[in-house]
Amino acid sequence: MTAPQDDLWTEFHRVVNMTSRELSDWLRTASATQDTEPLPDQAGTPTGQEVLHVLAKRRVDLTGEDERVMRKVVDRVHRERRDDLEPTAGQDAWRHRLMSIGHDPLKPV
């Protein structure tokens, strides 16, 4: 990887502060209805599924699409959070949106 890719990898793993298990569980919970629960690989948002896909990879296996997803997630978390990313309470809908991409604002980074 080149230095910019290393920086992106590091920052992505800093802002995505949920484990793949936590994210997968959250996506299934958020997508479940009273009558049905989606298959794990179909639960949640497309971006949430893409984050899970990236989390399952080694750095050397990243594709250009993976890097696009990583940038998108890093940019979105930085846009919606303070720079220090200290645990912050907020409205449930805001927290749940961020959790759908792997960032729980109540957890330390």
How much is the pLDDT for 89?
Answer: 83
How much is the pLDDT for 71?
Answer: 97
- Angle value at C-alpha 32, between 88 and 67, nearest 5 degrees: 60
Confidence of residue 49 (pLDDT cuts 50, 70, 90): very high
Burial 39-70 (b: 16+ CB within 10 A, else e): eeeebbeeebbbbbebbeeeeeebeeebbebb
Token pair belonging to 78: 């930085």
Q: Could you report the per-residue pLDDT of 8-28, keeping only the tens digit for each?
A: 999 999 999 999 999 999 998
**Mean pLDDT across 51-61:** 95
Q: Could you report the per-residue pLDDT of 68-105, keeping only the tens digit for each?
A: 999 999 999 999 997 778 888 888 889 999 999 999 99
